[in-house]
């Protein structure tokens, strides 16, 4: 994608980040997860969800004319990576992942970890991650869960 700028998120970006997160899950993950799972995933999220990571300097954006995607890290973990549905498959995810891995390495870590959606497993494998386990993710007391793939990579 042309004219893509990678920059740290600011608190003013919280609303757009929330919209991209929702758009990404609703457009890109429906082939792998059911409607109940998608609803659980987004349940309770709001722009406020992203503020602590923004304040900690752990969230980066890929912007062109609009916000195309974002990545969040937590220690050595890539904790979120979501691309707007219309922007998928154009190298935005790869650029954001590279930024996240650079930040993780700069913080002194020698490996990175993530819990991939079924949707993203092949993308991460193409980016050098290997599967180290499987698990499930759920929120609050919800009986609904989503399957995830635990993956790691040496930096
Ligand atoms: C998974 C996701 C982050 C990938 O981002 P993207 O911008 O679409 O991916 P890119 O265009 O940067 O692809 C990078 C590489 O991965 C490969 N790739 C991407 N998706 C792939 C897939 N489903 N199968 C195989 N390869 C894939 C691309 O071919 C490309 O390879 P190349 O560099 O050799 O050309 C994005 O599609 C997304 O947000 N998905 C929905 C949300 C989600 O599941 N996020 C992950 C949470 S853990």
66-125 residue pLDDT tens = 999 999 999 999 999 999 999 999 999 999 999 999 999 999 999 999 999 999 999 999
Residues with CB under 6 A from ligand 1: 24, 28-29, 81-83, 88-94, 116-117, 119-120, 122-123, 126
Cα 82 to averaged position of ligand 1 atoms, centre (Å): 10
Instruction: For residue 92, give both structure tokens.
Output: 């935005």
Angular region, 91: left φ>0, alpha ψ -120 to 50, beta rest: left
Report which DSSP code applies to 119. Answer: T
Number of domains in the chain: 1
Comparing 2 with 30, which gets the higher pLDDT? Answer: 30
* 42 domain-assigned: yes
For residue 26, give the CATH number of its domain.
Answer: 3.40.630.30
Contact 149, 115 (CB under 8 A): yes
Structural domain includes residue 127? no
Q: What is the pLDDT of residues 24-82, one digit of tens each?
A: 999 999 999 999 999 999 988 999 999 999 999 999 999 999 999 999 999 999 999 99
Is a pLDDT exceeding 90 seen at residue 142?
A: no
How much is the pTM? 0.96
- Does residue 24 fall inside a structural domain? yes
Q: Distance, CA 87 to ligand 1 centroid (Å)?
A: 10
Residue 60 pLDDT = 98
What local confidence, expressed as pLDDT, does residue 140 receive? 78
Domain holding 36, by residue range, is 5-109
Q: Which atom of ligand 1 is nearest to the CA of 126?
A: 16
Q: Tell me whether residue 94 is in a domain.
A: yes
pLDDT at residue 139 above 90?
no
Cβ atoms within 10 A of the Cβ of 5, count? 10
């Amino acid at each position: 994608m042309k004219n893509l700028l990678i920059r740290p998120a600011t608190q003013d970006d919280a609303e757009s980040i929330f919209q991209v997160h929702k758009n990404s899950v609703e457009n890109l993950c429906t082939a792998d997860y059911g409607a109940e799972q998608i609803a659980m995933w987004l349940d309770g999220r709001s722009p406020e969800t992203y503020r602590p990571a923004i304040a900690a300097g752990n969230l980066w954006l890929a912007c062109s004319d609009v916000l195309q995607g974002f990545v969040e890290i937590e220690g050595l973990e890539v904790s979120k990576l979501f691309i707007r549905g219309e922007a998928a498959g154009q190298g935005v995810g790869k650029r954001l992942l590279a930024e996240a891995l650079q930040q993780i390495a700069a913080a002194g870590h020698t490996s990175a970890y993530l819990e991939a959606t079924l949707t993203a497993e092949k993308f991460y494998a193409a980016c050098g991650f290997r599967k180290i386990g499987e698990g499930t993710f759920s929120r609050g007391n919800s009986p609904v869960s989503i399957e995830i793939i635990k993956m790691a990579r040496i930096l």
